[in-house]
Amino acid sequence: MQRNIPRLMIAATSSGGGKTTITCGLLQAFINRGIETISFKCGPDYIDPMFHTEVLGLKSRNLDLFFTDAQTTKNLFCKNAKGFELAVIEGVMGYYDGLAGISTEASSYDLARTMQTPVILLIDCKGKSVSILAEIKGFLELCPDSNIKGVLLNRCNAMLYPDLKKQIEKELEIEVYGYVPQRNDISLESRHLGLVTAKEIGNLKQILNRIAEQMEATVDLDRLLVLANSVKPIVCEVKECVPGNWRIDELSHVQEDKARIGVAMDQAFCFYYQDNLDLLAELGAEIVPFSPLKEETLPENLHGLIFGGGYPELYLETLSSNKNLLKEIKETISNGIPCLAECGGFMYLHEWIQDEEGKRVPMVGTIEGGSYPTEKLGRFGYITLTANQDNLLCKKGKSIRGHEFHYWDSTNTGDCFHAQKPLRKTEWNCMIAEGNLIAGYPHLHYYSNPHFAHNYIKSCMKYKKEVECIAKR
């Protein structure tokens, strides 16, 4: 099957070059024009898709060639972009920066090449003039199949722009699509620190509309749309959105009945790959959101629990004071409900979380010990997790991919999975896998091994039948 989906990528020469601000401004400008737009984020980023959804009101997904092979990535893109007039992909880090800092694999370049997507390279012009040409030339020539089709000049002086544009297009034969001047009132950088979520910032819509107005004034949006519509169709297999021969439709018997999965979703627990939740739903889950911050009881008739990552450390007293819910969660897990917990959710299930002042704040208590802050980012980046023993999700020796990103550690990290960083010798044991519980700091991407998600749903269905049998006695 072929899908003709207009698309383009906004990439940059480095992190901190303004990708987020420019991408969001372009998205808002296209929205203001009435164009049905979907956004994608390259890499394992939770913040940007959440931001695009909450503030821009867009459907947004991740695309990641470490988590999913090339065909699966195309399938997910086609599945999510169906019916949209335009797809805008925001790159990650510097354009060629990939696995372990030594490869282009899983980089923005790798994704653009795989997806046959034209790239607009964002160039930070502050403190530069003619040297900009050397920078652009290097990016164009490093890889012959760069897919870089144009450049956009960020923080560029309006007086200097006409001469720069003329030089770049003459010397490098690449189109300049416009510029954005230095403006302190249109920056989104403070949001991107990861300490606040989109819901917690007040005047973002005003900022985004100011950026969009700037785009209309100094960026050739019409030419960008022409470029996006010049792409070749993508070959995809939407019914087979997973690697190998494993097919969702082969598990249709699971979908005849639904397992109600309670998923913690609020400001404290907000890090979820939507594709993960969509896959669970396709396999027979009914996703039931609930808020550990606001609700004193779990939703009724649950057959599974999921606690994702987020910012529980910012809401310790509120979470801890919800005593009735803490007790109910602990009892429900003790009674055998299948439970998955990642990063912030893993912290929440401990006996305590230590705050920045050293105080131990009581939590659920399912996991012995506590979680405490560290002074640096721990075990950061992509990992492949291989089971050291049979567990709820898989047999010993089976693997799934994920990543870690946290400034916290635990007195009880577990040793049921073995984590290996790609292209590096760094490795460690992690995660607790005891009976109906899987918990640890790693974030899992289910599409890297959908059998994990399938096994979880099967466990939830088994639990459901056991509960129903008990109720009939």
Dihedral sign for Cα atoms in the order 187, 192, 193, 197:
positive
Mark whether 430 is an active-site residue: no
Element (H, E) at 228: helix 221-228
Nearest alpha-carbon partner for 410 in 431, 427, 392, 386: 431
Residue 286 region, left (φ>0) first, then alpha (ψ -120 to 50), else beta? beta
β-partners of residue 361 are: 353
Longest dimension (CA), the chain: 83
What one-letter code names the amino acid at 131? S
The rounded distance, in Å, linking the Cα atoms of 428 and 261 is: 30
Residues 156, 343, 416, 460: which is the catalytic one? Answer: 343
Helix, strand, or coil here: 38? strand
Q: Where are the alpha helices (DSSP H) in 69-122?
A: 70-81, 108-115
What are phi and psi for residue 414, nearest 5 degrees? Answer: 85, 170
The rounded distance, in Å, linking the Cα atoms of 4 and 81 is: 10
Helix, strand, or coil here: 176? strand
Element (H, E) at 218: helix 204-218
Element (H, E) at 148: strand 148-154
**Are 66 and 384 spatial neighbours (Cβ–Cβ below 8 Å)?**
no
β-partners of residue 41 are: 62, 90
Provide CB contacts within 8 A for 433, sequence distance 6+. Answer: 387, 389, 391, 392, 393, 414, 416, 417
CB-CB neighbours of 38 under 10 Å: 23
Catalytic residue annotation: 343
